[in-house]
Amino acid sequence: MKIILCKNYYEVSLQAANIVAQQIKNKPQSVLGLPTGSTPLGLYKSLIKMNKENTLDFSGVITFNLDEYYPISRDNAQSYYYFMHDNLFNHININKQNVHILNGEATDPQEECTNYESAIEKAGGIDLQVLGIGQNGHIGFNEPGNTLKSTTNLTDLTPNTIDVNSRFFEKIEDVPKKSLTMGIGSIMKSKKIILLASGVEKANAISELLKGDITTANPSTLLNAHRDVTIIVDNAAMEG
Ligand code: PGA
């Protein structure tokens, strides 16, 4: 596992943007796995800037988002569908047919998960997976527990995640209780993974991850079993 230690959030975003840009330059048809949340916002701003300045071309890029609330409609401003279009896809020259986001309105969520897993396989697998990390160590919506799911699945959000994410909703009751998420196996199959973390709230989760032990109590620790992971953290997130 490689660690890039940054002074602050701005530097985390720039380092991540450089890695993503390099990936796309090396392979214009790259398959990217993308996260939502506050953490990737700076990365997405940098990628938009590169695209506007004509130094980065997204026309061949294929994307798969990590997760989506369930149930939620696409036009709900808190859906990850809305978030991704608002913060990235509407501002770059990506072919919208190459964008894949789990459907929070699917009538048969199990079928949605199976189809999503197949679509990733059909695209040739994920070349570069970008991850954030939850305060509780979740990656995607793979929450701490006795067991972890390997493939894309419908899952319950933990009270902690509902609480942390309620900051985006008018009231905590509005936070969906479930989500669709790529599984740990779907993530681990990615050829290369970068995980971004900024702020002292992430320090505990990062310190557990860097200890090197693997535990389902902190799903991010599974990354210790992957052979190409880079953790991009700022000083605050390394405080633990
Ligand atoms: P955040 O969320 O980027 O908003 O901190 C990360 C996550 O929950 O995975």
pLDDT tens-digit readout, 128-171: 999 999 999 999 999 999 999 999 999 999 999 999 999 999 99
Instruction: Say whether pTM exceeds 0.85.
Output: yes
Which burial class, exposed, middle or buried, applies to 77 when counting CB atoms under 10 A from its CB (0-12, 13-18, 19+)?
exposed
- 195-228: pLDDT as tens digits: 999 999 999 999 999 999 999 999 999 999 999 9
Q: Can you tell me the distance from the alpha carbon of 91 to that of 48, in angstroms, rounded to the nearest whole number?
A: 6
Residue 84, both tokens: 């991704």
Cα of 38 from ligand 1 centre, angstroms: 6
38, 175, 195, 202: residue to mutate for ligand 1 pocket, most atoms within 8 A of CB: 38
Tokens representing 66 are 């990590």
| Measured CA angle at 195 (ends 190, 196), to 5 deg | 150
List, in order, residues 6 or more apart from 154 with CB less than 8 Å away: 70, 109, 110, 113, 178, 179, 180
pLDDT tens digits for 26-78?
999 999 999 999 999 999 999 999 999 999 999 999 999 999 999 999 999 99
Residue 240 has pLDDT above 90, yes or no: no
3-class secondary structure, 181? strand
Q: Is 171 helix (H, G, I), strand (E, B) or coil?
A: coil
Domains in the chain and their CATH numbers? Answer: 2-238 (3.40.50.1360)
Contact predicate 196/39, CB 8 Å: yes
The residues that are catalytic are 67, 136, 138, 143
Task: Please check the confidence at residue 17 and state whether its pLDDT lies above 90.
Answer: yes
In the sheet that holds 153-156, the strands lie side by side as 67-70, 178-181, 153-156
Task: Determine which residue's CA is closest to atom 8 belonging to ligand 1.
Answer: 134
- What atom in ligand 1 is closest to the CA of residue 196? 3
Task: Report the alpha-carbon distance of residue 65 to residue 84 in Å, rounded.
Answer: 9
The reported pLDDT for the residue numbered 56 is: 98
Mutate to test the pocket of ligand 1, among 12, 39, 232 (most ligand atoms within 8 A of CB): 39
Report CA 106 to chain centroid distance, whole Å: 21
Q: How far apart are CA 228 and CA 130, in angstroms?
A: 12
Q: Which residue's CA is minimally distant from atom 7 of ligand 1?
A: 134
Give which of 9, 231, 13 is closest to 139, Cα–Cα.
231
Atom of ligand 1 nearest to the CA of 161: 8
pLDDT at 72: 98
* Contact indicator for 65, 100 with CB cutoff of 8 Å: yes
Could you tell me where the DSSP H helices lie in the chain? 9-26, 41-52, 80-87, 109-122, 159-165, 184-188, 203-211
Residue 191 CA to residue 39 CA, distance in Å, equals 22
